[in-house]
Amino acid sequence: MRTSRLHRVCLLLAVFLIAAVVAAGCSPSGGGGVKELSGAGATFPYPLYSKMFDVYESVSAVRVNYNGIGSGGGIKALTDKTVDFGASDAFLTDEEEQAMGAPVLHIPTCIGAVVLSYNLDGNPDLKLDSAVIAGIFMGSVRNWNDPAIAGLNPGVTLPDLAVTVVHRSDGSGTTSIFTNYLSMTSPAWKEKVGAGKSVAWPAGIGGKGNDGVAGLVKQNKGSIGYIELVYAIQTGMPYATVLNAAGTFVTPTLATVAAAANVQLPADLRVLIVNSPESTAYPLSAFTWILVYQEQHYADRSLDQARALKNLLTWMLGDGQQVNEGLSYGRLPEAAVTKARALLSSMTYDGTPVR
Amino acid sequence: MERLSADSRREKVREAAYKTATTVAAVALVATIALFLVQLATASHASWRAFGLRFLWTTEWNPVTEQFGALPMIVGTLVTGFGALAISTPFALGIAIFLADYASKRVTEPFKYLISLLGGLPSVIFGLWGLIVLVPRIGRLEVWFGTLVHSEALVQAGTTGVGLLSSVVLLALMILPFSSSLILESLLLVPTELKEGSLALGATRWDTIQSIELPFVRKSTVGALVLALGRALGETMAVTMVIGNGMRMPRTLFDPANTLASAIANQFLEATSPLYVSALTELALILFVIAIVINIGARVILRRGVQQR
C-alpha cells in the first residue's frame, strides 16, 4: 500500500517535471485584444514608471508590466524582441543601435539629475565647480580645507579632514551623467578617466546602487558621493550647489533640472543635456528614455499591440507628465514633448504609420 | 500463480522506471556542469580573442577604453577566500571538538541549533551587519595600526574601514557555521569503542582527540573546509557591501578591492558593449575554474593522505 502511494507520488512528480519543461519551451502567445504591454530596463525611472503605469491602467484598462532590470538588460530584451519597449538612462550609441538591427526611437519621459552629497559636521551649504569636483574624484583634492574648495566657499569653515570619495560600483546611468559632465568640462578628466556607465575610478570606494553610495557617505565623516536627486530628496541628504555653464551657482531643484532641457534639441532626441548653457539650468541633468522599434511589425506583433504601445507613450508625454514632479522627477519641457510626439508619429506597422 | 507473475512484471517495470529516472537525474547534473563550462567559454570568446592569457595577469579594468584585466579580482577572491578560511578554521575545530567531547548534551543541542540558524541567515543580513557594525570597528583598528607603524597610506586606506580585511573577517564569520557543524557531525560519528579503547589504554582525553578522533575525521574535515571555502569564494552580496568595490590592484589588506563574484554582480546588468559583457563572462569562467581546481586539489590531498596511512 505504502509503496504504491510512493509510486504514485513519483509519477505525479515526473508529470509535473515534464509539464514544466514543456511550459518553459513554449513562449506565451500574444495577440487578441491588447490588455497588456511589457517593458524592461533602467532602474532610475522605475518608481516613476510604476506610478505612471498604475494610473494608466485605471484610465485605459491596459496593464503595463515593467521590470527594472537595468538599462543593459532592457536594451538586451528589446534586441531579443521579448518586450514591447526598453528603457535606458543613456541613449544608444551608433554602434549599439546597429546591433539592434532596426531603427530605434528614443522617447524621453522625464529629466533626472545627479547631485553631490556629503557628510560634514554642521551640514554646511557647499558650492562646487567642475574643476573641484574633477579634482576630488581624481584624488588630487584630498582635504576639505584645500584652497580650491575654500576659494569657492568664502564664509564656510571647512575642517582639516581627509576627503573620502564614494562612487557607484555598479554600472549606472547616474555614473554616465556624472562622468559625461566631468568629461565635458574638465580636459584632465576626459583624458585620464573618460565617460561611461562604468569607469576606471582613480580614487575612492564603491557602493552598489544609490543606497550603497548613500550608506557609505552617511557612515563616513568627510565623504562625498554622487547620487540621484530623487534619492537625495527622499532621504534628506545635503547636496552641493554647482556652478553651471552660464557662470551661476545653481541648486538642483525640479525647476532648475527641467531648465537644462531648454536648449536646441536634435530631432531624434538622442542628446546629453549636461552642462546646459541655459542660465538657470542645473548642469548635472539628463533625460531618461523609453526605446521602441520604429517599425512595429516584428516578432509576431499585431497592429493592435503597436497601437496600444503608441497610445501608452502618447499618454506618458501628455497627462502622464503630471506624475513626474510629485515623485521628484523633472517634467519634460514643451519643446521636448513636441519633438517626442513627432518621433512617435513616425512609428510604422508594415511601413504605414500606426494610428 | 498468475497473480504472482503480474506482480513480478509490475515490479520489473517499476524497477526500470526508477533506474531511468535516477540515471536521467545523474546525467542531467553532469550535463549541467558541462553546459555551464561550454556556455561560459563561448560567451567569453570575444574577450579571450582580444586579451588572451594576458587577461589573467593584467591589472587594468577600464570599461571606457575597453581594456580588461582580471588580476585584481582574482587576487581579491583568493585573499578573501583563503583569509576567511584561515581565520575561521581554528574556531570551527574548537567549536566542534568542544561540542563533541567536552560539552554535555544539554549544551550541545541548543548550540547546534544556533549554529544552523547562523548558517541559514541570508547573506544580505550579514552584509548589513558587516557594513554597520563591523566596518567602523575594523576602520578604527586599521587607523590605529596605521598610526602605530607611522604609515600615512595605511591610515588613509583604513579610514573608511571597507576593504579586504573587513571582507575576510565577515566571510570568516559567515563560513564558520558550515565548517563547524560539518566537522561536529563527523566527530559525533567516531565509534565509541575507539574512544573508550583509547581511554582504557591510559590515554588522556586530549590524547584521544588528537590521535584517535581527529585522524578519523580528517577526510570529512577537509571536505567541510572545501565546502566552506567554496561558499567564501562565491559569496557576493555581503562582500559587495563591505569590500569597497575598488577595481584597482589592492596593495595592502586595508585597501578597497573586489572579488570575481562581486564584480560580476555589480557590473553585469548595465554592461552593454559586447566586449565588456564578454570580459565579465570570462570572470565567471575564472571563478568556475578556481572552484573546480580547489575541489580537485582537495581530492588529491585526501587520496595522498590515505596512501600514506
Supply the CATH number for residue B92's domain: 1.10.3720.10
CB A221 within 8 A of CB A315: no
Mean pLDDT within B248-268: 93
Number of domains within chain B: 2
Of A75, A95, A205, the CB nearest to B160: A205
Q: Is the ipTM of this complex over 0.95?
A: no
B62 neighbourhood in chain A, CB within 8 Å: 199-200
Q: How far apart are CA B79 and CA A179, in angstroms?
A: 31
pLDDT tens for each residue of B42-57 = 999 999 999 999 999 9
Would the CB atoms of B245 and A169 count as touching at under 8 Å?
A: yes
Mean pLDDT within B122-136: 94
Q: Please, which pLDDT band fits residue B301 given cuts at 50, 70 and 90?
A: confident
Mean pLDDT within A71-97: 89
Q: Kindly state whether residues A101 and A133 are assigned to the same domain.
A: no
Q: Kindly state whether residues B6 and B49 are assigned to the same domain.
A: no
Residue B241 has pLDDT above 90, yes or no: yes
Q: Kindly state whether residues B74 and B26 are assigned to the same domain.
A: no
Other Cβ atoms within 10 Å of A304 Cβ, number: 14
Q: Kindly state whether residues B118 and B235 are assigned to the same domain.
A: yes
Q: Please, which pLDDT band fits residue B309 given cuts at 50, 70 and 90?
A: very low
A94 domain residue, yes or no: yes
Q: Please, which pLDDT band fits residue A32 given cuts at 50, 70 and 90?
A: very low
Mean pLDDT within A105-127: 94
A95 neighbourhood in chain B, CB within 8 Å: 273
The domain boundary residue, chosen from A244, A260, A276 = A260
Q: How far apart are CA B250 and CA B246, in angstroms?
A: 8
Residue A17 has what pLDDT? 53
Q: Kindly state whether residues B122 and B106 are assigned to the same domain.
A: yes
Q: Kindly state whether residues A151 and A255 are assigned to the same domain.
A: yes
Query: Is residue A159 within 8 angstroms of chain B, CB to CB?
Result: no
Closest CA–CA distance from residue B294 to any residue of chain A (Å): 28
Residue A25 has what pLDDT? 41
Q: Please, which pLDDT band fits residue A95 given cuts at 50, 70 and 90?
A: confident
Q: Kindly state whether residues A256 and A118 are assigned to the same domain.
A: yes
Q: Kindly state whether residues B297 and B281 are assigned to the same domain.
A: yes
Residue A27 has what pLDDT? 36
pLDDT tens for each residue of A168-207 = 999 888 999 999 999 999 999 999 999 998 999 999 999 9
Q: Kindly state whether residues B209 and B266 are assigned to the same domain.
A: yes
* Residue A238 region by backbone torsions, left for phi larger than 0, else alpha for psi between -120 and 50, else beta: beta
Number of domains within chain A: 2
Residue B4 has pLDDT above 90, yes or no: no
Residue A213 has what pLDDT? 94
* Kind and range of the H or E run holding A41: strand A36-41
Closest CA–CA distance from residue B101 to any residue of chain A (Å): 40
- Residue scoring higher pLDDT (B158 or A189): A189
Q: Kindly state whether residues B184 and B229 are assigned to the same domain.
A: yes
Q: Kindly state whether residues A77 and A21 are assigned to the same domain.
A: yes
Mean pLDDT within A158-166: 94
pLDDT tens for each residue of A1-14 = 455 565 665 555 55
pLDDT tens for each residue of B56-71 = 999 999 999 999 999 9
Closest CA–CA distance from residue A58 to any residue of chain B (Å): 32
Residue A342 has pLDDT above 50, yes or no: yes
Q: How far apart are CA A76 and CA A89, in angstroms?
A: 14
Mean pLDDT within A233-253: 94
Q: Kindly state whether residues B162 and B260 are assigned to the same domain.
A: yes
Residue A76 has what pLDDT? 86
Would the CB atoms of A197 and B247 count as touching at under 8 Å?
A: no
Residues above pLDDT 90, as percent of chain A: 72
Q: How far apart are CA A175 and CA A171, in angstroms?
A: 7
Residue A15 has what pLDDT? 56
B156 neighbourhood in chain A, CB within 8 Å: 162
The boundaries of the domain holding residue A319 are 5-110+286-353
Q: Kindly state whether residues A106 and A118 are assigned to the same domain.
A: no
Mean pLDDT within B242-257: 93
Of A7, A170, A219, the CB nearest to B269: A170
A277 domain residue, yes or no: no
Q: Please, which pLDDT band fits residue B78 given cuts at 50, 70 and 90?
A: very high
- Give the three cell numbers for residue B73: 579580482
A122 domain residue, yes or no: yes
Would the CB atoms of A196 and B21 count as touching at under 8 Å?
A: no
Residue B308 has what pLDDT? 47
Q: Kindly state whether residues A254 and A125 are assigned to the same domain.
A: yes
CB A204 within 8 A of CB A135: no
Query: Is residue A200 within 8 angstroms of chain B, CB to CB?
Result: yes
**Which ranges of chain B does DSSP label H, i.e. alpha helix?**
2-43, 45-51, 54-57, 71-97, 105-120, 123-129, 135-148, 152-158, 164-188, 192-200, 205-208, 214-216, 218-234, 237-242, 260-267, 274-308
Q: Kindly state whether residues B15 and B79 are assigned to the same domain.
A: no
Q: Kindly state whether residues B19 and B92 are assigned to the same domain.
A: no
Mean pLDDT within A222-232: 94
Q: Kindly state whether residues A130 and A197 are assigned to the same domain.
A: yes
Query: Is residue A234 within 8 angstroms of chain B, CB to CB?
Result: no
Would the CB atoms of B268 and A162 count as touching at under 8 Å?
A: no
Residue B84 has what pLDDT? 97
Which string of DSSP letters, residue by residue, matches A212-225? HHHHHHHHSTTEEE
Residue A12 has what pLDDT? 58
Residue A26 has pLDDT above 60, yes or no: no
Please state, in angstroms and as integers, the Cα–Cα distance from residue B5 to each residue in A1, A183, B18, following that order: 18, 84, 20
Helix (H, G, I), strand (E, B) or coil at A102: coil
Q: Kindly state whether residues A87 and A123 are assigned to the same domain.
A: no
Residue A277 has what pLDDT? 92
Q: Kindly state whether residues B61 and B113 are assigned to the same domain.
A: yes
B28 neighbourhood in chain A, CB within 8 Å: none
Helix (H, G, I), strand (E, B) or coil at A275: coil
**CATH classification of the domain holding A147:** 3.40.190.10
Q: How far apart are CA A95 and CA A87, in angstroms?
A: 17
- Give the three cell numbers for residue B4: 504472482
Other Cβ atoms within 10 Å of B128 Cβ, number: 16
- Residue scoring higher pLDDT (B83 or A91): B83
Would the CB atoms of B62 and A199 count as touching at under 8 Å?
A: yes
Residue B272 has what pLDDT? 78
Residue from B23, B249, B272, B283 whose CB has the most chain A CBs within 10 Å, to mutate = B272
Q: Kindly state whether residues B30 and B148 are assigned to the same domain.
A: no
Would the CB atoms of A200 and B63 count as touching at under 8 Å?
A: yes
pLDDT tens for each residue of A245-270 = 999 999 999 999 999 999 999 999 99
The boundaries of the domain holding residue B278 are 44-308
pLDDT tens for each residue of B81-114 = 999 999 999 999 999 999 998 998 899 999 999 9
B17 neighbourhood in chain A, CB within 8 Å: 10
Would the CB atoms of B269 and A70 count as touching at under 8 Å?
A: yes
